[in-house]
Amino acid sequence: MRHGGKVLAATAVLAGLVVSGPAVQASEDPDCAAGARFTSNYTEAASGLRVMSVEVANCGAEALQLNGYPQVSLFDVERRPLDVAILEGTGGITILDGFNDPPQPITVQPGETAGSAFVWRNTTTLLEPPQVAEHIELVTAPGAVQQPLIAVSPQRSIHIDLGSTGRMGVRAWYR
C-alpha cells in the first residue's frame, strides 16, 4: 500500500470511531452543551482547492431537525471574526458531486450523525493579505446555539487558508 493509502485508511478508521462511538448525553460532555457536537474528520487539498468534511452528532436526548445549511462563522488565531462570504453550495468555487444538491429535511436521532462540508481555494493576490481561520463556530440552523468545530483529524487543529479569496462554500446537511 502506498503512503497515501495508509493515510486514507487511517482517516477511515478515525471517521468510523467518531461515527460509531457511544452517544454521550449533553450534560456529561462540555462540547455537547446544546445537544449537538460538530467535528471535522479531514481536509483534502489539491492545487489550491480545499475540501473539509464536517459532521454533526446528536449527543442530546431529543431528535435534531436539520433542513438547510450549517450557519458558519470563521475566526483567526486570536478569535477575531474574518470578513468572509459564506456561500450556499460551491458558489462557483469549483464543481463537486453532491455539493450543490438542494437541502432536504433530515431527522437526526440521539446517537446519530449527519454531514456537511466546506470548500474554498487558497488563492492570494498581492493586494490583499491572506486570511486564515483557526477557529470555526457553527449552528445547525438560524437561532440555534453557536458551538465550536472540533478537529478530530490527526493534526487536531483547524486551518482554513482562504488566501485573499474572501469566500467559502458550504454544503447542505446530508446523510
3-state secondary structure of 17: helix
- Calculated CA dihedral for residues 121, 38, 7, 135, nearest 10 degrees: 50
- Residue 1 predicted with pLDDT over 60: no
Do 83 and 153 contact (CB within 8 A), yes or no? no
pLDDT tens, 128-168?
788 999 999 999 988 888 999 999 977 678 999 998 899 99
CA atoms of 32 and 145, how far apart (whole Å): 11
- DSSP H or E run through 139: strand 135-139
Ranking 15-19, 87-91, 123-127, 150-154 by mean pLDDT, the lowest is: 15-19
- The CA distance from 88 to 173, in Å, is 11
pLDDT tens track for 28-65: 566 677 899 999 987 888 778 999 999 999 999 999 99
Residue 111 has pLDDT above 90, yes or no: yes
Please give the mean pLDDT across all residues of the chain: 83
pTM, full prediction: 0.80
Considering only CA atoms, which of 113, 132, 116 is closest in space to residue 124?
132
How many whole angstroms from its chain centre is CA 119? 10
